[in-house]
Amino acid sequence: MYELFRYDRQAKAFYDKLPDYVRDQIATRAGGVHSMESLRDYAENLLRWDE
């Protein structure tokens, strides 16, 4: 994920706008996030549980 942020500012901006609890959960699995698509999918799944 951190490698992704170096090259994709859009992914970093998306991540920065997420709620803290979602960012925390994503950070625990940072090694599994390699694209904007996987970042978005993971965030959407976490946010779905918040409804």
What are the residue ranges in the chain where pLDDT is below 70? 50-51
How far, in Å, CA of 36 to CA of 1, rounded?
A: 9
* pTM to 2 decimal places: 0.87
Specify the pLDDT at position 50: 67
Specify the pLDDT at position 51: 60
Candidates 4, 8, 51; CA nearest to 26 is: 4
